[in-house]
Amino acid sequence: QVQLVESGGGLVQAGGSLRLSCAAPGSIFSKNAMGWYRQAPGNQREFIAGITRGGSINYADSVKGRFTISRDNAKNTLYLQMNSLKPEDTAVYYCNVIRGSKLDWGQGTQVTVSS
């Protein structure tokens, strides 16, 4: 069964913005810190941002100051506001729990930033 569904990716020019969304089951979302990960071609998947149920946030240095993670607990939805996008942000973006066993990864959403 599909449990994590990412959306909102697309093709943008450098300096542009995108807002990604991640829908998760309520039974998962309500009990877990959630995070965003990305995987660029030829690279390993990397953590980029996380948020606890109470709203405590951490960012990878590569996106700090440019990306904003948030969550809507009533909608069981995780967001990533991506501003000042750079070509090196090009990747497939995924969401998952931060702690404990990872759920099966979703399909992700492609973000492509042109120079």
Q: Which of 99, 104, 59 is nearest to 83 (CA)?
A: 59
Please list the rounded mean pLDDT of every run of 10 residues in the chain (115 residues).
92 98 95 97 96 96 98 96 98 96 96 97
Query: What pLDDT shows up at residue 30?
Result: 93
Query: What pLDDT shows up at residue 100?
Result: 86
Please, are residues 35 and 47 in contact by the beta-carbon 8 Å criterion? yes
What's the rounded Cα separation, in Å, for the pair 18 and 66? 11
**What does DSSP say about strands 5-7 and 10-13: parallel, antiparallel, or unpaired?**
unpaired
